[in-house]
Amino acid sequence: MKVTVVGAGAVGASCAEYIAIKDFASEVVILDIKEGFAEGKAMDLMQTASLNNFDTKIVGTTNDYSKTAGSDVCVITSGIPRKPGMTREELIGINAGIVKMVSASLIEHSPNTIIIVVSNPMDTMTYLVHKTTGLPKNRIIGMGGALDSARFKYRLAEALGAPISDVDGMVIGGHSDKGMVPLIYKAARNSVKVSEFLSAERMEQVVQDTKVGGATLTGLLGTSAWYAPGAAVSAMVQAIACDTKKIFPCSALLEGEYGLNDLSIGVPCVLGANGIEKIVEISLSDAEKAKLVESAEGVKKTNQLLEVPAN
């Protein structure tokens, strides 16, 4: 298993680190446009190998896509990060050009790869890769829902005063502060619905805290978060590499599923060796359906800013 991570910034480096530590990949290539940056990150990470007990080879390269050849999975983290007060949608003008170029370069050297998109606005960047590369829909995956669900579980465990391993919850919809749909009435603590433990007001607070999870961290850090995004990507890559068939909420191209068409948005997906093995259509309440439709409308509005051929 060879994995390429494009972008040696904090998210890309964290992603590479977590993949290496889990030791399921033979090689991780980190690529960046900044001279020597990826090489330095790779060398630094390789010097932790004996300490963290992994054998994964980590290689860095400055914009040499030939070194990514034969990658089974490619992760696109490149683009400018969010700054305080900036929405994910405001990144579209700059990041669309970067993602389009990067995805084309990756496919040139790894035509059979599976692409995971992290760059923001994530749902729209995932849609862009679908519209410009011609890859089958199962091989293009947006990361957002996996991260949003991890943040949801963190807030649920906090509210419940429970160990996070006891908590299960899922976020669908767009990867944006307004577009996320945390499925609070499906969330559970060890199979018992959280509504048995929390008041309606406390559950609503969990939902709101989850939806602004990224913005909260951006305000505290002065830039986008990196540990949790890197961990979310590494978990998805591991599911593909090890063919685990685990379900992750992630941005998938919908063609009638959930009554939606011609957009990428967060829904539960089974991940395995073929990428998205199946889009899982779960039953939603009328309120949840309405929120998902509203979220989809927001994603489509952002997609309209792209210069891509319409269906």
Domain at 149, CATH number: 3.90.110.10
User: Is 158 within the bounds of a domain?
Assistant: yes
Final residue belonging to a domain, choices 115, 143, 171 = 143
pLDDT for the residue numbered 305: 87
Specify the pLDDT at position 81.
Answer: 67
pLDDT of 79 reads 83
At 311 the pLDDT is 52
Residue 48 sits in the same domain as residue 156: no
Predicted pLDDT at 86 = 65
Same domain? 162 vs 291? yes
Structural domain boundaries, residue 160: 145-303
Average pLDDT, the chain: 95
Q: Which of 143, 175, 190 is the last residue of a domain?
A: 143
Residue 130 falls in the annotated catalytic set: no
Whether residue 12 is contained in a domain is answered as yes
Asked if 177 contacts 87 with a C-beta cutoff of 8 angstroms, the reply is yes
Statement to judge: residues 156 and 95 lie in one domain: no
Question: What's the token pair of residue 198?
Answer: 């929390």
Note if the bond before 121 is cis, omega within 30 degrees: yes
Per-residue model confidence (pLDDT) at position 89: 65
- Active-site residue, selected from the candidate residues 175, 189, 291, 300: 175
The contacts of residue 22 (CB under 8 Å, 6+ apart) are 54, 234, 238
CA terminus-to-terminus distance, the chain? 34
Residue 307: its pLDDT value, please? Answer: 73
Within a domain: 309 = no
pLDDT given at position 231? 98
In this structure, is residue 125 part of a structural domain?
yes
Which of 111, 143, 175 marks a domain boundary?
Answer: 143
Same domain, 273 and 221: yes
Considering the domain architecture, whether residues 14 and 71 belong to the same structural domain is answered as yes
Gap between the Cα atoms of 262 and 181, Å rounded: 19
| Residues of the chain where predicted confidence (pLDDT) is lower than 50 | none
Gap between the Cα atoms of 217 and 21, Å rounded: 25
242 and 156 co-located in one domain = yes
| pLDDT confidence of residue 143 | 96
pLDDT computed for residue 18 by the predictor? 98
91 and 209 assigned to the same domain: no
Q: Are residues 106 and 210 located together in one domain of the fold?
A: no
What does the block give as tokens for 128? 């862009």
Residue 182's SS3 state is strand
Query: How many domains is the chain partitioned into structurally?
Result: 2
Domain presence at residue 103: yes
* Amino acid 308: pLDDT: 67
